[in-house]
Homo-oligomer: A and B are copies of this chain.
Amino acid sequence: MTIAEHETPVAAHTGTTTTMTMAAALNRALADALAADPDVVVFGEDVGALGGVFRITDGLTARFGEDRCFDTPLAESGIIGTAVGMAMNGMRPVVEMQFDAFALPAFEQIVSHVAKLGNRTRGGMRMPLVIRIPFGGGIGGVEHHCDSSEAYYAHTPGLTVLSPSTPQDAYSLLRAAIASPDPVVFLEPKKLYWSKGEVDTAVTAEIGSARIAREGTDVTLLAYGASVPLALEAAEVAAGEGRSVQVVDVRSLSPFDDETVTAAVRSTGRAVVIAEAPGFVSVASEIQARVFERCFEYLEAPVRRVTGFDTPYAPPKFEHWYLPDVDRVLDAIDTLHWEDDA
């Protein structure tokens, strides 16, 4: 029985590719990496028998043994710190932080060591480790379960920061992350765990490349993670209103694909950045600033951003007021100095 066929993560074969949920794609990527490379180990809180609270590690201990996929004591700095030590000693640890906010106890280890040890040793020791974090909201989680902390990681030199928005990217980018000699913070949009798509496990992904998720000529939406389906939805509605909206899935937050993004925005002359995280000093502001700087002569209107508010993440019942939605995206598009403006 392959992992992808296992009980929880839904998967169904259709010809050469397979339709599966993002959760199943991630599970499959972990299993394939474990099978391919004996140095890969998976650990964290509840990733063993339970298979992770989101079941992303489902079945891995059963298939690969306690040695390769195991639970740790409940201490995130301990998890990351020991992963650093393992990476120093030739392993490729893939660790799970249970929720975004629960990676914070490990922040010193991440910033002062994970991100810096390769530089400190002049490349004498590399840090091929992956920190998987189920991130973002939209699932009605209580406080501390819905944060988006990509800004903290993307600001930290030395870290690669990725976030997939499709099962295919989930699979291919996670494989690429595990194969990378550098440390990767891998942000899994919780809201999309159960979204389905085709996955071809032969497809490899290149870290650092954005993806044109929809072609369009009037305005470019720049998004990542759970904001990509939102952007696509908004594009669809806007199409009904007669606007041709391009959608770029940034997916590699750091390094950032300036080439694709700049070309995209130059082609439309208008842009809106969408992200769930609070907007102040965020990845969204970085993208906005970069696009402004690189596309200045091409812009018909200021680049806008639609982000989470600069407040703590909302309680479950307030989530729908907090999160960027189609209306907010369309409102932002409306401000972009259209010729038909009154």
Contact = CB atoms under 8 A, between A and B. Distances in A.
Interface of A: 77, 101, 104-105, 107-108, 111-112, 115-116, 119-120, 143-144, 151-152, 154-158, 254, 256, 277-278, 280-283, 285-286, 288-290, 292-293, 296, 299, 301-305, 309-312
Given A254-B280, A281-B281, A301-B296, A312 B157 contact: yes
25 contacts: A101-B111, A105-B107, A107-B107, A115-B312, A116-B143, A120-B143, A152-B152, A154-B280, A154-B281, A155-B155, A155-B277, A157-B310, A158-B311, A254-B280, A280-B286, A281-B283, A281-B286, A282-B286, A286-B289, A289-B303, A292-B302, A292-B303, A293-B302, A296-B301, A296-B302
Contact of A104 (B107, B302, B311): B107
A143 B293 CA distance: 32
How many copies make up the complex?
2
A293 B304 CA distance: 7
Given A151-B155, A296-B301, A282 B281 contact: yes
A298 B232 CA distance: 33
Nearest to A77: B105
A130 B256 CA distance: 35
Contacts of A157: 278, 280, 309-312
A290 B281 CA distance: 10
Given A280-B254, A289-B292, A293-B304, A112 B155 contact: no
Contact of A289 (B77, B104, B288, B311): B288
A295 to B, nearest CB: 9
A277 B286 CA distance: 14
A104 B116 CA distance: 14
A285 B155 CA distance: 11
Contact of A112 (B101, B158, B285, B292): B101
Closest 4 CB pairs of A and B: A104-B108, A107-B107, A292-B292, A289-B289
Contacts of A292: 288-289, 292-293, 302-303
A131 to B, nearest CB: 15
Contact of A282 (B112, B155, B278): B155
A285 B296 contact: no
A278 B107 contact: no
A108 B107 contact: yes
Among A120, A154, A293, A311, residue most surrounded by chain B Cβ atoms (within 10 Å): A293
Contacts of A256: 280
Contacts of A309: 157
A155 B288 contact: no
A304 B292 CA distance: 10
A153 B45 CA distance: 27
Given A157-B311, A292-B302, 13 more contacts: A101-B112, A104-B111, A107-B108, A115-B312, A116-B143, A120-B312, A151-B155, A152-B155, A154-B281, A155-B155, A155-B280, A155-B282, A293-B303
B302 A112 contact: no
Nearest to A107: B107
Nearest to A150: B281
Among A111, A299, A311, residue most surrounded by chain B Cβ atoms (within 10 Å): A111
